[in-house]
Amino acid sequence: MCGIVGYTGVHEASPVLVAGLRRLEYRGYDSAGVAIVSEGRVVVRKRAGRVRTLEEALDQEPAAGSCGISHTRWATHGPANDRNAHPHMGGRAGAGAVAVVHNGVIENHATLRAELTADGFTFLSQTDTEVIAHLIARELGDGDGLFQAVQRALPQLEGTYGLAVISARCPGQVIGARLGSPLVIGLGEGEHFLASDALAIAPHTAKVAYLQDGEVVRLGPDDFEIRHRERGSITPRIDRIDWKPDAVELGGHAHYMLKEIHEQPETVHDACRGRLRHAEATAHFGGLNMTPRQLRRVRRVVFAACGTSWHAALVGEYLIERLAHLPVEVEYASEFRYRNAPLDDRTLVFVLSQSGETADTLGALRESKRQGHPTLAIVNTVGSTIAREATGGIFLHCGPEVGVASTKAFTAQVAVLTLLAIHLGRLRHLSFTDGLAAIEAIESIPRALGDVLAKSEPAIRAAAERIAPAKSVLYLGRDLHFPVALEGALKLKEISYIHAEGYPTAEMKHGPIALVDRETPCVFVAPRGVLHAKTLSNVEEVRARHGTIIAVGTEGDESLESISDIFLPIPDVPEIVQPLLAVVPLQLLAYQVALLRGCDIDKPRNLAKSVTVE
């Protein structure tokens, strides 16, 4: 949440900062702003609304200079308006003033505000961030440099922050600091960058260093230094970004969400690549950092995650119980971290996260580690905090996901969890024949995904027309498809703002069936499987009450098609891999409904992609 970009070098800062913000706009789009050191003072331009509004302001009133910071906001304290937009200035106007951009939450802001006000500082915004700017300005005083002033100010803050700071007193310097909110440094020739996410700086350099909690960095055009609040001077590890900058271009698609839906044949393939062992009828992971013997000792698995990642984990529960006969619990990370969940040394804990930065999931990881459990992560973003802090894990390899509504990360997570279930199963009782069949099933998925994407459009449009006017939609699925129903409902809510509920199909008769009428469409996720006949009866129950039925089913399933108003077919594949296909029509359906309703698909209201606050 909130995107930060900083630049110091030989080029004009403003275009670099604004282009960086455009790439980070998925982190929040309530307001955007830049601050640039220009002819001995700090110039600020900031506007409520999107980055394009800021660009218009900069066209009218340019800000020249080669050192600056910028921010795109997801509002926490104070509504989205020009005044609350970052950067915030601290101190008295003039050469001593500092400008700050911030991602995170300062929990003791009210106390600090009172103290600073008594000390003569004037507050112009309702944000928690403005206290940071004044604190740093006070520390800067007439004394030494900005780097030292920031280091003196930080211990006074309680909460989380990723910060970028500049001052006209120290032209050419950008100071960054991190505690709980991500920051990465980009290393160029005669220029350095700072950002919340490597996406922002990928067009300029592939060489990056991730800041750790408690670290403060001073960037100059030609050098940089990092200090840790306890450990002193730090030599960082330099990493290389392993994806191309054009991975985050739209590539001819109208929206990132659509682009990412269409990438799924490739991303599921990439998630499985190099992990299938036909000769042993199993899957293999390089990074679990656990021996087969240790994995065989496991008696219980706990998954902690949020949102779509939580839904993927729920598919994992069904798969692991089915293939490995291990009990699995799926926890909301935000609950798990504060609950006294009993874990013992035969419980294996996994956290799942696309971004690797979700604050609640990171909290769950830290809580589990604090209790002394090795804690593994299933994560997409290499270099993210969760990836770095986990004791081992599995990368999704599905490339940067920019669309705020997660799509390709879900299928990559489910693919990886299917492989994990096979792996854990083969360490127990899963036979060679069943293991091999499972591997062959998942190998067939990329092509089958291609078929779904190529063929489903007309039926999905028809279904979208039925759903677009609805006030509420029920999504129903059972067994492996219950989590798919939850995910379908979440996609619709997020981007079209229609109320939707996911429910286990057979639970419907215990309450939600009261909602069924001519105006409430029901989306059944019902590919052929062991419980199919029972699902057909549930569909009939809705039909008898005049509900509109949209069904995702197996190609050629006339029994389901004949009782559905709209039938969305998927290829006939073994049950354990059906969720990978069944979710795709639901992603496309949510997309088409949002399009019909004129919603802003890649920037849904109130949401941001990487939820780095609690």
Going by C-alpha positions, the residue among 58, 101, 1 that lies closest to residue 608 is 1
Q: Using the minimum distance from each CB to ligand F6R, give the nearer residue, 33 or 307.
A: 307
Structure tokens at 100: 């700050």
612 in contact with ligand F6R (CB under 6 A): no
Residue pair 567/537 in contact by the 8 Å Cβ criterion: no
361 in contact with ligand F6R (CB under 6 A): yes
Burial 287-305 (b: 16+ CB within 10 A, else e): ebebeeeeeeebeebbbbb
384 in contact with ligand F6R (CB under 6 A): no
572 burial via Cβ count (<10 Å: 0-12, 13-18, 19+): middle
Alpha-helix runs per DSSP H in 224-272:
256-262, 264-272
Q: Using the minimum distance from each CB to ligand F6R, give the nearer residue, 361 or 548.
A: 361
Q: Going by C-beta distance under 8 Å and a sequence separation of 6 or more, which residues neighbour residue 299?
A: 326, 327, 346, 347
Q: Using the minimum distance from each CB to ligand F6R, give the nearer residue, 121 or 310.
A: 310
Residue pair 393/369 in contact by the 8 Å Cβ criterion: no
Q: How far apart are CA 146 and CA 154, in angstroms?
A: 12
Q: Using the minimum distance from each CB to ligand F6R, give the nearer residue, 1 or 136.
A: 1
Least spacing, CB of residue 299 vs ligand F6R, in Å: 27
> What binding mask, one character per residue, do residues 64-83 give for ligand F6R by CB under 6 A, x or -?
--------------------
Least spacing, CB of residue 333 vs ligand F6R, in Å: 8
The one among 8, 196, 358, 538 contacting ligand F6R by CB under 6 A? 358
Q: Is 207 a catalytic residue?
A: no
The one among 8, 353, 375, 548 contacting ligand F6R by CB under 6 A? 353
385 in contact with ligand F6R (CB under 6 A): no
Q: Which of 46, 259, 408, 609 is catalytic?
A: 609
- Residue 193: phi and psi, rounded to 5, are -125, 155
Tokens 């302001």 — which residue?
57
Q: How far apart are CA 154 and CA 137, in angstroms?
A: 12
Q: Using the minimum distance from each CB to ligand F6R, give the nearer residue, 35 or 588.
A: 588
Q: Using the minimum distance from each CB to ligand F6R, give the nearer residue, 308 or 578.
A: 308
Residue pair 186/152 in contact by the 8 Å Cβ criterion: no
Q: How far apart are CA 554 and CA 575, in angstroms?
A: 10
Q: Which element (helix H / strand E) includes 43?
A: strand 41-48
Least spacing, CB of residue 322 vs ligand F6R, in Å: 24
Residue pair 18/36 in contact by the 8 Å Cβ criterion: no
Residues 487-546 that bind ligand F6R (CB under 6 A): 490, 494
Structure tokens at 197: 């996410």
Residue pair 133/88 in contact by the 8 Å Cβ criterion: yes
Least spacing, CB of residue 474 vs ligand F6R, in Å: 19
Q: How far apart are CA 487 and CA 587, in angstroms?
A: 9
Least spacing, CB of residue 611 vs ligand F6R, in Å: 5
Least spacing, CB of residue 353 vs ligand F6R, in Å: 3
Least spacing, CB of residue 101 vs ligand F6R, in Å: 22
Q: Is 599 a catalytic residue?
A: no
Q: Using the minimum distance from each CB to ligand F6R, give the nearer residue, 84 or 612.
A: 612
Q: Which of 2, 170, 398, 522 is catalytic?
A: 2
Establish how many alpha carbons lie within 13 A of residue 81's alpha carbon, considering only the half-sphere containing its beta carbon.
8
Q: How far apart are CA 256 and CA 26, in angstroms?
A: 10
Task: Specify the stretch interacting with ligand F6R by CB under 6 A; choose among 69-77, 117-125, 144-152, 352-360.
Answer: 352-360
359 in contact with ligand F6R (CB under 6 A): no
Q: How far apart are CA 27 and CA 2, in angstroms?
A: 5
Least spacing, CB of residue 494 vs ligand F6R, in Å: 5
Residue pair 5/14 in contact by the 8 Å Cβ criterion: no
Q: Which element (helix H / strand E) includes 228?
A: strand 224-228
Q: Using the minimum distance from each CB to ligand F6R, give the nearer residue, 7 or 410.
A: 410
Q: Which element (helix H / strand E) includes 4?
A: strand 3-8
Going by C-alpha positions, the residue among 183, 290, 201 that lies closest to residue 16 is 201
Q: Using the minimum distance from each CB to ligand F6R, give the nearer residue, 34 or 611.
A: 611
Q: How far apart are CA 363 and CA 377, in angstroms?
A: 13
Q: Using the minimum distance from each CB to ligand F6R, give the nearer residue, 465 or 600.
A: 600
β partners of residue 446 = none
Task: Specify the stretch interacting with ligand F6R by CB under 6 A; choose among 59-67, 263-271, 347-355, 507-515.
Answer: 347-355
> What binding mask, one character per residue, do residues 282-311 give for ligand F6R by CB under 6 A, x or -?
------------------------xxxx--
406 in contact with ligand F6R (CB under 6 A): yes
Least spacing, CB of residue 204 vs ligand F6R, in Å: 25
Residue with the CB atom nearest ligand F6R in the bound state = 307
124 burial via Cβ count (<10 Å: 0-12, 13-18, 19+): exposed
Least spacing, CB of residue 409 vs ligand F6R, in Å: 6
The one among 219, 271, 589, 611 contacting ligand F6R by CB under 6 A? 611
The one among 205, 354, 520, 587 contacting ligand F6R by CB under 6 A? 354
How many contiguous H segments (helices) and E segments (strands) does the chain have?
20, 27
Residue 280 per-residue DSSP state: T
Residue 105 per-residue DSSP state: -
Size of the site for ligand F6R (CB under 6 A): 14
The one among 8, 355, 535, 554 contacting ligand F6R by CB under 6 A? 355
List residues with catalytic annotation.
Answer: 2, 609
Q: Write out the residues near ligand F6R by the rule CB under 6 A.
A: 306-309, 353-355, 358, 361, 405-406, 490, 494, 611
